[in-house]
Structure formats: C-alpha cells, structure tokens
Amino acid sequence: MQSTYSELLASAKQSIIKQCNVYQDYPVKGVGFLDISPIFMSTVDFDNVLTYWQHRFTNVDLVVGLEARGFVIGAAFAQKIGAPFMMIRKKGKLPGQCISEAYVKEYGADEFEAQVNALSKTSFPSDRKVNVLIMDDILATGGTLCASIELVRKLLSHNNVKEYKISTSLISSIKVLRGKEKIYEKYNDVSIDVIHEI
C-alpha cells in the first residue's frame, strides 16, 4: 500500500527528531545550534527525509544546495530524482566569474556567490515554468535563504529564463526568529517547506 503524504511527512519528522541534536551557546553565546549531521549516519532515517521530499516536490528542473550542509542534502536529493545540482558557496570559494549577494545571519554577516556560467550547459523545459528547489538544513533569520533566492533569480535572468518557480526546502526552522515571515515579506511568490519547526 502506497504511503500517503501525511505519513511520509510524519516519518521524516520522526527521523529528524530522533537523530538531530541541539547544542546551546554554539557557535556563539545565546545561539542554539541544531546539528543535523547524525541523520547522515542512518541510511534509513536520511532516506525517510529524501522520500518525503520526492513526494513533496515534482518536476524539479534544478536543485540548489547552500554551503555547507545544503550540499549533502541537495546533492543526495538531486541524484534521487535525476536532476542537476548547483552549489551556492561563501565568498572566495568558487573559481571564475561570480555574482554575489551579501546577507546577515543570527551571529554575523556573510556573502554568498554563484558562478555566472553555472547554468550555461543546463537544458530547461520551454513549455512550462522552470522549477528550482533551493535546499538547506536550518531556517533561522532567513538571511541565507533570501540571499540564495536573489542569486538564483539573477542566474536565471542571466540565462534568459523568464518563467520560473522557486521553492525552498529545509529540515528544520527556528520559529521564534521569524525567518519564514521575513522571506514572505520580500518574496511572496516563493514557497517554504519545513519538515520540523522548533
């Protein structure tokens, strides 16, 4: 019998709760850090998460992973669904010509970059909107996600892609920091999927 959407979501959420740990006052005092790395040590629990996403997101044309844990999540999911995968990295980590976007997070400022020609060899459908999925581990203040959305929009424009839909997916979010609300204020056409809110 095929699992329902709600069953898959519940299974993914349970796997996250079981495997992830919270470290207080890390990386700075006053910040609670949710460590998702133990979930990668369990093939069953990680696959529960990937399977939920596979049913949640269909017709994905490009998966984008954010440094650093978004690389693991995004690359694994892209392989599972047979989609191309692109990395968005912190400033100074990518060769060649890059575009950048600055952002503020809960414990400082940073900058993301993407290679200008990252999508030059990617073929997108011409008969419908291009579906892009941005993946990361945690949604906190929303700064990193806003910067990545802006970079993806710039890259799509650079490659003459005018019709597109950007979705985002995260393992968890810190509700009190209101990251979702801040993103929706700026990008009301972007969907945000969070498996487990804390």
* pTM exceeding the 0.85 threshold for the entire prediction: yes
Q: Please confirm, yes or no, whether 7 is among the known catalytic residues.
A: no
Question: Which residue in 7, 56, 101, 106 is the catalytic one?
Answer: 106
* CA–CA gap between residue 26 and residue 52 (Å, rounded): 29
**Three-state secondary-structure class, residue 194:** strand
One of 7, 56, 67, 69 is an active-site residue; which one? 69
The reply to whether 69 belongs to the active site is: yes
For the 5-197 domain, the top CATH level (class) is alpha beta
- Asked if residues 111 and 99 have their Cβ atoms less than 8 Å apart, the reply is no
Tens-place pLDDT, residues 49-87? 999 999 999 999 999 999 999 999 999 999 999 999 999
For residue 107, the model assigns a pLDDT of 67
Residue 154 CB partners (closer than 8 Å, separation 6+): 99, 101, 114
Question: pLDDT tens digits, residue range 26-45?
Answer: 877 877 788 999 999 999 99
